[in-house]
Amino acid sequence: MKQKRTEVAELGPFGLIDRLTKGFETHQESTLCGVGDDAAVIATTADQVQLISTETLFEGIDFDLTYFPLKHLGYKIVTVAVSDILAMNGRPQQITVSLGLSSKIPVEALDDLYEGIRFACNEQQIDLVGGDTRASMTGMVISVTAVGTAQRDAVSYRSGAGMHDLICLTGNLGAAYMGLQLLEREKRVLEGVTNPEPQFKGYEYLLEKYLKPRPRTDIIEVLAEEKIKPTAMIDLSDGLSSDLMQLCRSSKCGARIYLERIPIARQTNQLADEMHLDAVMAALNGGEDYELLFTVPLSMQEQVMRLGVVDVIGHITDEQAGCALVTPDGGAIRLKAQGFPESK
């Protein structure tokens, strides 16, 4: 009998993880939260938890070494891993880094990669404590595991958002995506040119957001100082649409966000115009922002606004309402996890 074959694409990213992890029972009392959030939560003492998260990046899919300086790549992978610990309202403490290496990478290039990792570790006061190196036939693979800590009652899960909670966002969106578009454009234009001189003038901020994003550790510190515990939180890696939908799916709620409240940097708008792209689409679906999206009770509106480092972009609704983007004319567009939103 022919075995049934299902393409991974048919299930989508959420469906695939659900299917693979279905039927796993928890055997350890210390496992407070397993698959399904930004990081696993493991009890260490009565009031402390350890947070663990792994991210893997592949050459040709997540980064292109023709324009990605290895020093920056080293820095970025630390941010990518650490961001998931922050998204649990935790403090990152250690990382391990494992590499799959193709023979085209010389040792000097790896020195650069580790210089970036070291810089990030020093800046964030975290320790590199292990890893593994293997040969790869298909280009470079980098896997980073981050370990962190939090007070047990301070952890913000994706599942805690409540009706009418405010949806808060740090930084601005779409800049990393436009930085990537710029690098890809210059790569196309300069293909085969000896001594290429790519034109990045005026768009340095976009390049930095893509090549060397900073983790929002500052936000976690500010929230702790102000005694604000988000009811739910997620870091923005896949794009606002997709990540907001994940948060809502975990919290069994809907959301309304307002288009004119989504912060977009001047350079993002400028390059989008120049390249005939839509800056709002970059903000909704571009991904790799590594900003934090969190919810707080409506009663905390003033307190959150006073911080000066977050924007309130919408509020939580009931599950049946789904996730909607409200346009300035009052129309509502249903958000989609991938690609472009469709009109309702």
Give the residue at shortest CB distance from Mg ion: 38
Name the residue nearer to Mg ion (CB basis): 36 or 198. Answer: 36
Min dist. Cβ of residue 246 to Mg ion (A): 9
Q: What are the helix (H) ranges across the chain?
A: 8-21, 70-86, 107-124, 175-189, 204-211, 217-225, 240-251, 266-274, 279-285, 301-307
Name the residue nearer to Mg ion (CB basis): 59 or 84. Answer: 84
Residue 190 in contact with residue 257, Cβ under 8 Å? no
Name the residue nearer to Mg ion (CB basis): 84 or 289. Answer: 84
Min dist. Cβ of residue 126 to Mg ion (A): 17
**CA neighbor of 168 nearest in space, from 240, 69, 226:** 240
Min dist. Cβ of residue 38 to Mg ion (A): 4
- Tracing tokens 């006073």 back to the chain, one arrives at 306
Number of residues that bind Mg ion (CB under 5 A): 3
Name the residue nearer to Mg ion (CB basis): 38 or 291. Answer: 38
Q: Is residue 2 classed exposed, middle or buried when 0-12, 13-18 and 19+ CB atoms within 10 A define those classes?
A: exposed
Phi–psi pair at 212, nearest 5 degrees: -145, 60
Min dist. Cβ of residue 111 to Mg ion (A): 29
Min dist. Cβ of residue 236 to Mg ion (A): 8
Q: Candidates 18-26, 170-178, 233-241, 298-306 — which segment interacts with Mg ion by CB under 5 A?
A: 233-241
DSSP 63-103: B-TTT--HHHHHHHHHHHHHHHHHTTT-EEEEEEEEEEE-T
Q: Candidates 14-22, 76-84, 94-102, 106-114 — which segment interacts with Mg ion by CB under 5 A?
A: 76-84
Q: Candidates 6-14, 80-88, 170-178, 182-190 — which segment interacts with Mg ion by CB under 5 A?
A: 80-88
- Residue type, position 335, single letter: L
291 binds Mg ion (CB under 5 A): no
- Please identify which residue in 33, 37, 38, 229 interacts with Mg ion, judged by CB under 5 A: 38
Longest pairwise C-alpha distance within the chain:
65
What does the per-residue mask of binding to Mg ion show for 83-112, with x meaning CB under 5 A?
-x----------------------------
Min dist. Cβ of residue 219 to Mg ion (A): 14
Q: Is residue 158 classed exposed, middle or buried when 0-12, 13-18 and 19+ CB atoms within 10 A define those classes?
A: buried
Number of H-type helices and E-type strands within the chain: 10, 14
238 binds Mg ion (CB under 5 A): no
Name the residue nearer to Mg ion (CB basis): 145 or 267. Answer: 145
- Quick one: DSSP state of residue 252? T
Q: Candidates 37-45, 68-76, 106-114, 292-300 — which segment interacts with Mg ion by CB under 5 A?
A: 37-45
235 binds Mg ion (CB under 5 A): yes
- Quote the tokens at residue 337: 């996890």
Name the residue nearer to Mg ion (CB basis): 157 or 203. Answer: 157
Q: How, if at all, do strands 31-33 and 141-151 pair?
A: unpaired
Min dist. Cβ of residue 32 to Mg ion (A): 18
| Residue 327 to residue 331: CA distance in whole angstroms | 5
- Contact residues: Mg ion, CB under 5 A: 38, 84, 235
